[in-house]
Amino acid sequence: MFRHTILITYRNFLRYKSSFFINLVGLSSGLACTLLIYLWVADELSADRFHQKADRLYQVLRNVQRPDGIRTGESTPARLGESLLAEMPEVEYAVSVNSSGEYSGEGIIVYEDKHLKAKGIFASEDYFNVFSYDLIQGNKDRVLADKNGVLISETLAKKVFNTTDNIVGKTFVWNHRVRFEGPLYVSGIFKDVPANSTCQFDIVFNFKKLLEGDRNAEQWNAGPAETYLVLKDGTSIVEFNKKISRHLFSKVPDNKATLFVSRYSDKYLHGRFESGVQSGGRIEYVWLFSMIAVFILAIACINFMNLSTAQASRKMKEVGIKKTMGVNRKVLIFQFLGESILMAFLSLAIATLLVFVLLPQFNELTNKQLHFTPGIKPFLVIGGMVLFTGIVSGGYPAFYLSGFEPARVLKGKLATTFGDVWIRKGLVVTQFVLSIVFMVAFLIVNRQIEFTQTKSLGYEKENVLMFSRQGRISWDAHETFMSALRDIPGVVNASCMFGSILEKDLSLHGGFSWEGQPPGAKEILFPSPTVSHDFIETLNIRIKEGRTFSDAYGEESKIVVNEAAVKMMGFPDPIGRMIRDGQHEKQIVGVVKDFQYGSLHHQISPVFFRYSSRGSDVMVKVQPGSEANTIERLGEVYEKFHPGYPFEFTFLDADYQRLYDSEKRVAVLSKYFAVIAIIISCLGLFGLAAFTAQKRQKEIGIRKILGATQAGIVSLLSADFTKMILIAIAIALPVSYFTALKWLERFAYRIALEWWFFAGAGVAALVIAWITIGMQTIRAAHTNPADYIRTE
């Protein structure tokens, strides 16, 4: 029976080539999109889940109640881990890690004549008992016992020592902006950190080394550590969070932070907290892409269902004869389902080839390193998906075709029921609803991205070059270094700061107070970057009144604010007014026009510029047209003051654009998905139009003999399809509107939703559908009527 089904299916493919081609292209395209999205989703879901204790591994977070809301942070006291291990019986392991502080980050390993960049983190002794990074050499219980011992990755070991054999005990120098005293030696080697680990590093230092270099790091009111716990089996997280909530109150009497734990493997996908509660993150994109995959595959399946049911008349006699000969309905269902499943697996073969071809471009779009490798789990998932596709796309046609009454079929009296027609029409409407939604999404996301790139930010980001000073910085020679930069031909201005104007949360600072301040406002955190003189001039931020910082004055007791800060403080004449910054009195000497600090996801907020002649992050305004020569000279000056460190720079405008990378990827992918959805939908529409024209060919011939015009014939054949597209437009536009409103909520400054965004997508869908239908209807209208009625 199976062999017979295969043979019948093969013959049907040969007999109905156009339907076969349309179904094959539609299903293979839909499956290729679905497979690519599956690889992306699987990679996202795998982040940080490779650790053996992932189900019991938690990070300790802090909630701090402030007047402007609850803020959730990762920084915790260095001694918190050992305190929780000693006082909480539910804790099996506790480690302190510093992966993003002043001590961590990129530095240079110096060994003999080699200078190699590496990224380091600090970790306490049980780090490799908590996190499953495999060791090649060393005992995970002892590798971090000595404060001068470090572990390096397999790749770094080969780069530094040209081998991984017999290098334990070898010493090297670590050049970083914070230098360590005493020799450092290799105590172990670990396998390279997997790509699906959110924490990437090449070298691990002992946490005691950080404590040794910072005398304040062990204070309970400091926060140099990220604290991770492995909890014992059966621990109730709700009860444990209640126990540790006020743990810091016994250590710091005036503490304002409460503690809680969150599963570490959830950090990547669920890393956003609002009002102290986990509220989403990248998981939203996982759901979005998953829904897109389902929609694309659904559009492809709809094509198969529509064409199969529409062309049922071609198989009427086959079904009637088989039923008359005693074939039961189950056999027929098996035959038709087998045909659709075979089509699905044939489409899978083509889709797999498409994935291999398109994967490099898809990786570039998504900034991933995805690989399509065979395995049991992918085989089961993909095989199940294809089987499901075959059953779904062929299920309705199979039950529909197998239900024909043999007597009525053989007499040619099979009537198309009202329900059959509306099911087909409903499926076409569904296809175009999804296609129009994709089109609107592409248009609105692109307009919003364009808006973020062109909106005036209140400062000039063009031709501003940025770099960070690396290694051990001699602050005594800092001004000499800055002066050398300013003396380079082509340099318009140069300044420095700690942090970046693009990172709003990096320089949050509290403790400001002023006369007439409302209760509790002292606890509000404001962006308050520490900048040197010429900072405002380098970015060409406009002055409203007063002056900017100058090296001609003693500026440590001065402050510059923006208009939003003046409005908040309620000062009608702010120049000369005094505010307190913690224990220090500072005088307002200037007010700048409001500008965008950070991205357009955030509203313009009060900004307090504090002064420091130092700053590890440098900005240089370059004369347009002289970039190449100026950058070369900047590199020479940098290497003179930072021997052994490469000169690495970025441009401010490029970094600003990277703030919207996620949105850009959604825009690009929505464009491709919209095109694919339209193509697949139009393929189905093309097939239905062809079948309709063929089915009504005798009617067309008679109408033409009776005087019907070609335009009238085209209008007649297009009317039903036009109605379906108009219904799809009517459904899709409200759905698109509310979806767009929801997406735009993430931006503090956003485009207005113009009527033509939606009308344009609707008209475009209608025109594309007309072109598709017209290819068949015009051909039918031009055919000689004698060819249609010759058999009568």
Q: Point out the least confidently predicted range of 135-149, 260-274, 453-467, 661-675.
A: 661-675
pLDDT band at 312 (very low <50, low <70, confident <90, very high): low
Instruction: With a cut of 90, say whether residue 757 has pLDDT above it.
Output: no
Is 430 inside a domain boundary? no
pLDDT at 411: 58
Is 708 inside a domain boundary? yes
pLDDT band at 115 (very low <50, low <70, confident <90, very high): confident
How far is CA 237 from its chain centroid? 29
* Structure confidence by residue, pLDDT tens digits, 472-501: 778 888 999 999 999 999 999 999 998 888
Among 612, 644, 676, the domain-final residue is 644
Q: Express as a percent the part of the chain with pLDDT over 70.
A: 88
Instruction: With a cut of 80, say whether residue 422 has pLDDT above it.
Output: no
386 and 258 assigned to the same domain: no
133 and 253 assigned to the same domain: yes
Instruction: With a cut of 50, say whether residue 418 has pLDDT above it.
Output: no
* CA–CA distance, 610 with 580 (Å, rounded to integer): 12
pLDDT at 67: 62
Over the range 402-415, which residues count as b (16 or more CB within 10 Å of their CB) and which as e?
bebebeebbeeebe
Mean pLDDT of 372-378: 72
Over the range 187-212, which residues count as b (16 or more CB within 10 Å of their CB) and which as e?
bbbbeebeebbebebbbbbbbbbbbe
* Structure confidence by residue, pLDDT tens digits, 516-540: 887 766 677 788 899 999 999 999 9
Instruction: With a cut of 50, say whether residue 343 has pLDDT above it.
Output: yes
* CA–CA distance, 134 with 128 (Å, rounded to integer): 8
* Structure confidence by residue, pLDDT tens digits, 177-227: 776 766 799 999 999 999 899 999 999 999 998 888 777 788 888 888 999
* Structure confidence by residue, pLDDT tens digits, 71-99: 888 989 999 999 999 999 999 999 999 98
Instruction: With a cut of 90, say whether residue 157 has pLDDT above it.
Output: yes
Instruction: With a cut of 50, say whether residue 390 has pLDDT above it.
Output: yes
Among 644, 676, 704, the domain-final residue is 644
Domain that holds residue 373: 1-46+275-415
620 and 735 assigned to the same domain: no
Is 434 inside a domain boundary? no
Query: Between vectors from CA 412 to CA 407 and to CA 418, what angle results, nearest 5°?
Result: 95
The two tokens of residue 681 are: 């939908």
* CA–CA distance, 531 with 551 (Å, rounded to integer): 12
689 and 744 assigned to the same domain: yes
What is the total count of domains within the chain?
4
The radius of gyration computed from the CA coordinates of the chain, to the nearest angstrom, equals 34
585 and 485 assigned to the same domain: yes
* Structure confidence by residue, pLDDT tens digits, 401-413: 666 666 665 555 5
Which residues lie below 8 Å from residue 359, measured CB to CB, with a gap of 6+? 36, 39, 370, 371, 372
19 and 68 assigned to the same domain: no
Is 162 inside a domain boundary? yes
Instruction: With a cut of 70, say whether residue 314 has pLDDT above it.
Output: no
The two tokens of residue 71 are: 């803020």
> In terms of pLDDT, which residue wins out, 20 or 432?
432
* Structure confidence by residue, pLDDT tens digits, 37-61: 888 998 999 999 999 999 999 999 9
- Label the pairing between strands 584-592 and 578-581: antiparallel
* CA–CA distance, 499 with 468 (Å, rounded to integer): 9
* CA–CA distance, 347 with 30 (Å, rounded to integer): 9
231 and 110 assigned to the same domain: yes
Instruction: With a cut of 80, say whether residue 272 has pLDDT above it.
Output: yes
Which residues lie below 8 Å from residue 249, measured CB to CB, with a gap of 6+? 255
317 and 223 assigned to the same domain: no
Is 425 inside a domain boundary? no
**Residue among 372, 393, 392 nearest 382 (CA):** 372
Mean pLDDT of 151-176: 91
> In terms of pLDDT, which residue wins out, 214 or 137?
137
Is 651 inside a domain boundary? no
166 and 300 assigned to the same domain: no
Amino acid making up residue 510: G
Q: How far is CA 39 from CA 35, 49, 356, 363, 665, in A?
A: 6, 16, 12, 10, 16
pLDDT at 254: 74
Q: Point out the least confidently predicted range of 123-127, 293-297, 459-463, 691-695.
A: 691-695
Highest averaged pLDDT of the listed ranges 130-134, 340-344, 352-356, 677-681? 130-134
pLDDT at 661: 83
Amino acid making up residue 522: K
Among 644, 668, 683, the domain-final residue is 644
pLDDT at 214: 77
Instruction: Name residue 422's beta-bridge partners.
Output: none
Mean pLDDT of 566-570: 90
- Chain-wide mean pLDDT for the chain? 84
Instruction: With a cut of 70, say whether residue 271 has pLDDT above it.
Output: yes
Mean pLDDT of 316-333: 70
Q: Point out the least confidently predicted range of 160-164, 349-353, 410-414, 784-788.
A: 410-414
42 and 58 assigned to the same domain: no
pLDDT at 301: 80
Helix (H) or strand (E) holding 161: helix 154-161
**752-761 long-range contacts, CB within 8 A, separation 24+:** 753/444, 757/440, 757/443, 757/444, 757/447, 758/440, 758/733, 760/443, 761/436, 761/439, 761/440, 761/443, 761/732, 761/733, 761/736
Is 201 inside a domain boundary? yes
Instruction: With a cut of 90, say whether residue 589 has pLDDT above it.
Output: yes
Is 792 inside a domain boundary? yes
Helix (H) or strand (E) holding 123: strand 114-123
684 and 612 assigned to the same domain: no
309 and 243 assigned to the same domain: no
Instruction: With a cut of 70, say whether residue 339 has pLDDT above it.
Output: yes
> In terms of pLDDT, which residue wins out, 321 or 292?
292
Its pTM stands at 0.82
Instruction: With a cut of 60, say whether residue 732 has pLDDT above it.
Output: yes
pLDDT band at 786 (very low <50, low <70, confident <90, very high): low
Instruction: Name residue 151's beta-bridge partners.
Output: 188, 204
Mean pLDDT of 617-632: 93
**Residue among 354, 267, 324 nearest 25 (CA):** 354
Q: Would you say 531 and 611 are in contact if contact means Cβ atoms under 8 Å apart? A: yes
Helix (H, G, I), strand (E, B) or coil at 49: coil
Phi-psi region of 117 (alpha: psi -120 to 50; beta: other; left: phi over 0): beta
Helix (H) or strand (E) holding 762: helix 755-782
